[in-house]
Chain A
């Protein structure tokens, strides 16, 4: 019951902005969107999250459409170390707690 859809792969030139899209058309009003990335054979690393408003931190920016049906993760100046699988996740409330529903992820390759 994946709630997100992402392109399977993308390439980006080093130094350029990487824009990773995510569709979550069935998201409910109180469900957050989270982004994590996973470098080969490691645990996922938190990047950013948001509910309605656009968010920015030292790693990335998150742009959420007004209808909340899609979002875009922006890495402003991609480096080779940003090569990873990026997961767009919906956090759902269930049985008194919250759990992540992972999408299939986008494999980002940053090219020199």
Chain B
């Protein structure tokens, strides 16, 4: 149980385009979802916290107009990287949680912006 999926697993896009990443909790309803970014050989950095039906809470330094988060249901959250640039290339990982339990992480999405 407690499986979280992400789609796509990898994506390559041109500079200036937008990319949408989906995060789904497959066998449970998540009260909260989180989005992280991880650069090569670095740790995970929390970008934002997302609760179903409400606006996401962004961490300091994360541009909310560039990284759009929609949490439409208890099993789906999406992250859209708008007007992507090469410096946005990274490994994006989501996680989902029920109440105060541990977070379950998705497999990650590798974004490469050319």
**Interface positions of A (Cβ within 8 A of B):** 34, 36, 41-46, 49, 87, 95, 97-105
Note all chain A residues with C-beta closer than 8 A to B46: 99-102
Is the beta-carbon distance between B4 and A43 smaller than 8 angstroms? yes
Query: Number of contacts between A and B (CB, 8 Å)?
Result: 48
Is the beta-carbon distance between B43 and A104 smaller than 8 angstroms? yes
Could you tell me the distance in whole angstroms from the C-beta of B77 to the nearest C-beta in chain A? Answer: 14
B78 in the interface (beta carbon within 8 A) = no
Judged by DSSP, the binding face of A is strand
Is the beta-carbon distance between B105 and A44 smaller than 8 angstroms? yes
* Subset of 11 A-B contacts with CB under 8 Å: A41-B91, A43-B4, A43-B107, A44-B95, A46-B103, A97-B51, A97-B57, A99-B49, A102-B46, A103-B43, A104-B43
Cα A44 to Cα B103 with chains together (Å): 10
Judged by DSSP, the binding face of B is strand
Is the beta-carbon distance between A105 and B43 smaller than 8 angstroms? yes
Is the beta-carbon distance between B44 and A97 smaller than 8 angstroms? no
Is the beta-carbon distance between A43 and B108 smaller than 8 angstroms? yes
B7 in the interface (beta carbon within 8 A) = no
| Chain B residue at minimal CB-CB distance from A95 | B57
| Chain B residue at minimal CB-CB distance from A87 | B43
